[in-house]
Amino acid sequence: MTPQLAGHLLVDCLIAQGVTHVFGVPGESYLAVLDGFHAHADRIRFITNRQEGGAAFMAEAQGKLSGRPGVCFVTRGPGATNASIGLHTAFQDSTPMVLFVGDVASDARDREAFQEVDYSAFFGPSTRGMAKRVERIDDPRRIPEYVARAFATAMNGRPGPVVLVLPEDMLTQTVEAEPLPRVEPVQAWSDPGSLRELRALLLAAQRPLVIAGGGGWTPQAAAALQRFAENWQLPVANAFRFQDTFDNHHPLYAGDVGLGINPALAKRVRESDLLIAIGPRLGESTTGGYTLIEAPVPRQKLVHIHSSAEELNRVYQARLAICATMNAAARSLEVLTAPPTVPWSDWARASNTDYLANIDPGNGGMQLPGSIDMPAIVRTLQKHLPADAVLTNGAGNFASWLHRFYQYTGLARGHKTQLAPTNGAMGYGVPAGVAASLLTGRTVFTIAGDGDFLMNGQELATAAMHGAKSIVLLLNNGAYGTIRMHQEREYPARVSGSDLRNPDFCGLATAYGYRAERITNTSEFEPALLRALAGESGALIEVVLDLEVITTRATLSAIRRK
């Protein structure tokens, strides 16, 4: 073994784990690692971000896209706390991720040194924390051990984030050590007895419904899920912001169970006599605030399949709980012998009919004010975006237009096509889109609100610097729209804190290196989108939207009158 700096060994360990891109903001606390990236620039790229929150979001998106941990590097104190938003997103979204934090030198520890933070206390691993594990590497000889364990922890059980703290002086020591081999996730298989019980529950059912989502899905697992649904003619709904788990074009697709749920689908969830939840942890957004599925004992018979034993029966007491990873669970389910006919064929067809009616913009007859027809905008996206396009968004009512009207291509077709934060983190869409472009080279489309965009819009500079290309549709209504909606419902006409005074978004995007144009009429959107798709650089299309157009189902005035 050739002696080398510990910081270089750390980079070697990342390469051994198959990492090709890492995201971060440079800091003096890990200069030795940055030098390692320079030494191995032909094998691994350090993507320089403009703020640690954007870097962490990019790493989280990397984890969603690859199924392996996304990697983020930040410096101590403010760098780590800025990155916490991405870590929290990875935790609640069940996304594998490793955050490396450059720290104060060992001889300054526990003196409240410059930018010192107690990371175990701050990121605290727990069922309500931000990380699955927080560890500090004091001995450089153990770097391979810690890195391999971090990757294993991030991927196994319920996927999630891990934090590794790197003392500055440790990284500059000379060490003789070799990286450990690439870690692969462990597959946990459904036990045969549980599968027999699940089959018996299906044979006794009249109105079954599958809810699929959560972390750990691969194209192979999604394809197996589709075969299971087809064998048993089961209607399948996707959990909140996991709308690409099951192909939205499939005749068995029932819609998404999340915020702004189709009322007809909500009724079916309540009326189902057998819910089969495959992958989701059944959080607040997917369960309608724990009302569609009541806690702790649901009215429906519940079969909960999850990769973490700790997650099962934690909130909901399931009739049948199965601990299995998604690859193993779906492959077990697809060979579950189905009868020649099932009694719920009409129920399954009606579930899909309800979904198709929900994405019909004429359904409900609501007349939207202003010159922008958002359902028509989404139809134009559906027409021109390729099937493997990656669509990203942050948090806000603006995202509901995609969630309701866009038909996501499922993972079963080979690609993840939706990146969105289930924890409701604003500012996710822009950096996630930049990461998706860098990592996949596919067409990337981001929808953002005016408030959401300014959370991390500076990462367009990162895109321009590193050659990423995304198309950003910015809906500008001059307000924090979601908060205004709640405000008008709870405190009608008493507006406080939700109005925005915005910059020249097109001028800002142009300064970052993006093409930009502003439209005020629906007819202008299709030509603008085609120009953006054909252009060599990224593009921003600003849409001026009437504040009255606040949701896909009601205007602001209608909400105020209720």
Q: Specify whether the CB–CB gap between 55 and 33 falls below 8 A.
A: no
Q: From 279, 274, 254, 276, select the one nearest 266 (Cα to Cα).
A: 254
CA–CA dist 350, 325 (Å, integer):
30
Distance of CA 53 to the CA centre of its chain: 15
Q: From 426, 398, 400, select the one nearest 86 (Cα to Cα).
A: 426
Residue 349 one-letter amino acid:
R
Q: From 500, 522, 515, 514, select the one nearest 449 (Cα to Cα).
A: 500
Q: What is the DSSP letter of 19?
A: -
Residue 246 one-letter amino acid:
F
495 token code pair: 């507006």
- Average pLDDT of the chain to the nearest whole number: 96
The pLDDT tens digits along the chain (562 residues) read 789 999 999 999 999 999 999 999 999 999 999 999 999 999 999 999 999 999 999 999 999 999 999 999 999 999 999 999 999 999 999 999 999 999 999 998 889 888 889 999 999 876 677 999 999 999 999 999 999 999 999 999 999 999 999 999 999 999 999 999 999 999 999 999 999 999 999 999 999 999 999 999 999 999 999 999 999 999 999 999 999 999 999 999 999 999 999 999 999 999 999 999 999 999 999 999 999 999 999 999 999 999 999 999 999 999 999 999 999 999 999 999 999 999 999 999 999 999 999 999 877 556 788 999 999 999 999 999 999 999 999 999 999 999 999 999 989 999 999 999 999 999 999 999 999 999 999 999 999 999 999 999 999 999 999 999 999 999 999 999 999 999 989 999 899 999 999 999 999 999 999 999 999 999 999 999 999 999 999 999 999 999 999 999 889 888 887 6
Write the CA distances from 208 to 248, 261, 321, 424, integer angstroms: 18, 18, 16, 29
CA–CA dist 241, 263 (Å, integer):
17
What is the per-residue pLDDT across 111-151, written as a single tens digit (0 to 9) for each?
988 888 999 999 987 667 799 999 999 999 999 999 999 99
User: Which stretch of DSSP H or E encloses residue 390?
Assistant: strand 390-393
Domains of the chain from N-terminus onward = 4-175 (3.40.50.970), 192-357 (3.40.50.1220), 367-561 (3.40.50.970)
Q: Specify whether the CB–CB gap between 511 and 485 falls below 8 A.
A: no
